[in-house]
Structures are given as structure tokens and as C-alpha cells.
Amino acid sequence: MKISACILTKDEEEKIEKCLQNIVPYVDEIVIVDGFSEDKTIEIARKYTDKIYQKEFSGSFAVERNYSIEKSTGDRVFIMAPDEVCEKSLLEKLRELANQNKYDAYSFLRKDVLPGGEVLDLPCDHPVIDVRLAKRDKMRYYGAIHERAIVFGKTKFIPEIIHHYRRYINQYPAEKAERFKKISETAKERDQGLNLSRSFLIRRGLKLIIQYFFNVFIGLKLYKKGIRGLLLSITYTIRFTFSGISKYKRYGQI
């Protein structure tokens, strides 16, 4: 199975090369959708791929993500950010996972790395689990901001790690926060990336909560800690639920 890595960029010269060096031996093509970077992002990216598409930002991260998937030619897509690096053990499993047909998508752990090098195991006070590898025709994104993967099929959690190298220590920098606020205020229905009903999103949300509990309780083997592990799994699931509700209400998406 052919694997296409899909990445969105905008002025990422400080991070992009580390990301591309990390994944290039393990994927068949790299698709980059760039928002007209003004630094050396494109110059660096051209050393690794010729599939670079520059376009004005649509006003929606979901639209951009979907565009990158549609420009790919692989049987599977692997979604990355330019400031992320995968652990080698994850990359070594990528081909095996891509060649399996039992599941339509796979999710992995994401851990944040602060500018000083500290790794946050619980970047949001709970384990962060993201869908990243999927059959090309089974996954698209929804949400103009804080876009999330919508998988039309079965997903399996693999407890391998993607490290996200943050450029800030606590909250978003003021400029980034203001940009997100502006996107949320101006986003139209078409900017959500998919035409999904409210009832679909509610059903999906409930399903994600249940999946999340089993991912941490079984996938992260918290069951081995007995009652303490069960209570910890419940706590993480509650934090996951309220974090998502808070974030999406703040940006007017629910």
C-alpha cells in the first residue's frame, strides 16, 4: 500500500526539515499545502518532495486538510504537522498498519515538547490521542479551527508517540490566539469542511468519549493498576470530554 504524508505549512523553516527527515524513509510521497510562506519553507521542502501546492488560506484548517488529502495519490494518508516528529517505533509500524484492511484508520499518542525540551505526557491534563493514519477515502476533516478527523469506518488506537515541538510554554501566543478568534468569528458553514448534521456530530461525540475511555484503560494498560487505573481512566475521560466541549464552544463550533 502506498502511503502519502500530508502536511500544511506557513513559514515553518525552523521546524520543517526535522519533520521531513523523520518521515521521508517511511512514506511513498509527501504532499505539502503551503500558505505562501515568506521564509525558506518551500526551499527546504523541495529537497524532499515536488508535490508542493501553494494557495491562499481558505479560512478553514479543515478545508486545507481535505485539500491535501485530495492532492495525495496514496492508498493511505498519514497526517503530520511541520513541528512534529514521530518516534522511530511508530514509523517502523507504519507500513504494517497501512497494509492491514481490518481497520480504516489508526490513532496515536501526541505529546508536547516545550521550548526547553521538557516533554508533557499530559499536555491537556489527559493523554492526547489523534487519528493520523487512514485509508485515503475513509477520512476527512471537519471544523474551520481545531479541525478534527472524521473517520467513516473503524479506528484502532496504537500507543505509539508523535512529539509536537511547541513554540510557547503555556497559552497560545497573543498573535495566534487572535488569529484563531478571527477564524472562528468569520467561518461560514462551507468552511467546516464537511456538511454534517448536528445529530451526527452529537452521536460521534458520544462514540468518541466511549472510545477514549477504552483507549486509555485498555490501550494504555491502565487496567493493570486495578481500581486506581480505572479511576484514572474515568478522570482522563472526563477531562477529555470537558476540554473538547470548552474548546469548541469557545470557537463557536458546537
User: pLDDT value at position 176?
Assistant: 67
CB burial class (10 A; 0-12, 13-18, 19+) of residue 14?
A: middle
Residue with cell 478522570: 235
44-76 exposure pattern, b = at least 16 Cβ within 10 A, e = fewer: bbeebbebbeeeebbbbbbbbbbbbbebbebeb
Domain stop point among 186, 211, 232: 186
What's the confidence (pLDDT) of residue 172?
66
- Is 153 found in the same domain as 237? no
The count of domains in the chain is: 2
Tell whether 158 and 220 lie within a shared domain: no
- How many C-beta atoms lie closer than 10 Å to residue 219's C-beta? 19
The verdict on residue 192 lying in a domain is no
Q: What pLDDT score does 254 carry?
A: 45
Domain shared by 202 and 181, yes or no: no
Q: Domain for residue 242, yes or no?
A: yes
Residue with cell 503555556: 170
φ, ψ of residue 130 in degrees (nearest 5): -120, 140
pLDDT of residue 193: 84
Same domain, 138 and 54: yes
Q: Which residues of the chain have pLDDT under 70?
A: 169-177, 187, 190, 247-254
Helix axes 198-214, 227-250, angle to 10 degrees: 150
Rounded-to-integer distance, Cα 79 and Cα 112, Å: 17
Looking at the structure, tell me whether residues 121 and 239 fall in a common domain. Answer: no
CATH label of the domain that carries residue 78: 3.90.550.10
Q: Please compute Rg for the chain using Cα positions.
A: 18
Contact 62, 143 (CB under 8 A): yes
Are 45 and 117 contained in the same domain? yes
| Other Cβ atoms within 10 Å of 140 Cβ, number | 20
Segments forming the whole domain that contains residue 238: 197-250
SS3 assignment, position 58: coil
**Same domain (yes/no): 132, 237:** no
The residue among 155, 186, 217 that closes a domain is: 186
Q: What is the pLDDT of residue 170?
A: 66
Q: What is the pLDDT of residue 249?
A: 58
- For residues 164 and 219, membership in a common domain is answered with no
One domain, residues 143 and 180: yes
Query: Do the domain assignments include residue 45?
Result: yes
Residues 55 and 118 in one domain: yes
Condensed to tens digits (0 to 9), the pLDDT of residues 205-248 reads 999 999 999 999 999 999 999 999 999 999 999 999 998 777 66
Percent of the residues in the chain that have a pLDDT greater than 70, as a whole number: 91
Q: Are residues 103 and 11 in the same domain?
A: yes
Closest to 183 (Cα-Cα) out of 95, 89, 70, 64: 64
CB 57 within 8 A of CB 65: no
The whole-number pLDDT of residue 45 equals 98
d(CA 220, CA 182): 37
Instruction: Write down which residue in 142, 166, 186 finishes a domain.
Output: 186
